[in-house]
Structure 1
């Protein structure tokens, strides 16, 4: 769990998501401005979230799903997920994020991105992180750019959203300083 102390203490803590967070996920995903920026549907179900959260990491140990919590409630969620089982893509992870409307623009997304990028760069050997973001979600795009993500393309009519098809930007970040092999110092004879 990541907690701040001192005069610049944040009003939230970061930790791994757990199945008991399901009610909070359903509440957060019921916010129109949250679910419309994701591939979620209206009227989220807590039991469905409990199942999703119970199954995380089962097939891919590198997966990390974090939440930001304030006053005992989940206010944001972000995760890194392996893109698949293909051996030649094991260096790639996908990123997803959601922040409850009252907490947007208050540094929660930056805190989550900092931890996820640190995890990807230093613990699981991810060389590439990729994500999709709707073209009109400029706040999220600015956050991703701050962490080195670049636009790689546009997916036209990517998803049906509020009765219209919306385009999505494909963004990716390559490891800023890929790990190198460290050799042992030569033994002196």
Structure 2
């Protein structure tokens, strides 16, 4: 596996963990929210419908799976797949309720007054999906960048080696050779002078 394919697991750990937590919220809040008069349609908890399956449960599964991949991926392609999966799940949280209206689907009107209805719409769908997309985009950006340590490791792996298994032999620079010959010439010239004096 080349250096460009590898990536530290810690790079997507935080974003992946947050995405998993948000996915748990998105998948469970439709069923436990009514305990606190916080939800859509019925005020009874744990009311399942195909509308909730399409609008909350399935996108939550996609985001949670993407977050788990980001947390444990050790190579870039897998991490990129997890990031895109989480981003698409978050996108469905944002646009799903709008598209569902065209399919004659819906989870009912939000409960409570105006302020609570806005909060429910944001925390169940639009705002929740926007935060998921943001975290997924941040994770994708981190995996697109090659760190300095990774680049150095890749360079070290590509460095050629000689037949003995060690680093490639590096010739002595010409400057050093010239200094060596000059020293020999000086020593020889001194010996010549000494012989002539004799």
TM-score bracket, shorter-length normalisation: under 0.3
Q: Higher Cα Rg: structure 1 or 2?
A: 2
Instruction: Compare the two structures and name the one with the higher helix fraction.
Output: 2
- Structure with greater proportional strand content: 1
What is the TM-score with the length of structure 1 in the denominator?
0.24
The TM-score normalised by the length of structure 2 is: 0.23
Q: Which has the higher contact order (CA 8 A, sep 6+)?
A: 2
